[in-house]
Amino acid sequence: MTGNNTPTPHIGAKYGEIAPTVIMAGDPLRAKFMAEKYLDNPVQFNNVRGMLGFTGTYKGKPVSVMGHGMGIPSIGIYTYELYNFYGVKTIVRIGSAGAIHKDLHIGDLVLAMGACTDSNYAAQYALPGIFAPIADYDLLRSAVNACEKLGYKYKVGNVVSSDVFYSDNPQTDKWIKMGVLAIEMEAAALYMNAARSGNKAMALFTISDHILTGEATTAEARQTTFTRMMDVALSLV
């Protein structure tokens, strides 16, 4: 399915314009910021629907950064096309998450070893049971090593990828009972697409708010702490 020069309906790049490793953020402007701050000679490869994507080099290695939008349907489309039409081998998602674990605080990093979900995304595979979406172990181990080396506070464990931001019937307490660390909206689909295509994926997050304590991110905190997950993600290239 790879190797043709025809752009997909959602990505305007030709085959070869996207690196084998892609770092993705929900906000396309965060991808733009990352390209301008970290990459050498970044070239924009996508602007379809405003979902910005750039390819450049980091310490001499080719890498692309791109937005993926909000929610499982959005990241499901973009990562499927990257894996199956553009020859991408590794996708690392960076994003914000709401903590539901007592030991997490604003600015801490969460490395998602697994991603629970209330989404029906896995139904398409018609599996005879429940699939457990997990990160690639080598990427996870490298991310842990990077956090240790850089001195960043982190926690490894399960997150939950929720389909609903404004829930009419929140049941956060049930995820807390299962030891889930934080809530976000995309990692499970990324992990499933990686598994189905035989490729690698990992998601890591900056805690932007705490659902239990009411802690919330300030503009200053976002500016000074959200780049830490970028540092860790780039160490995986």
**Which positions are catalytic?**
209
Residue/partner pairs of 12-15 with CB below 8 Å, 24 or more apart: 12/45, 12/46, 12/47, 12/48, 13/45, 13/46, 13/53, 13/86, 15/85, 15/86, 15/87
Rounded to whole angstroms, the Cα distance separating 94 from 229 reads 7
Rounded to whole angstroms, the Cα distance separating 18 from 98 reads 31
Name residues whose C-beta falls within 8 Å of residue 76's C-beta, 6 or more positions apart in sequence: 121, 189, 193
Rounded to whole angstroms, the Cα distance separating 112 from 53 reads 24
SS3 per residue for 88-134: CCEEEEEEEEEECCCCCCCCCEEEEEEEEECCCHHHHHCCCCCCCCE
Yes or no: say if 97 and 37 are a contact pair by the CB < 8 Å rule: no
Residue 215's region, left for phi above 0, alpha for psi from -120 to 50, else beta, is beta
Determine how many CB atoms are found less than 10 A away from the CB of residue 57. Answer: 15
Rounded to whole angstroms, the Cα distance separating 189 from 77 reads 9
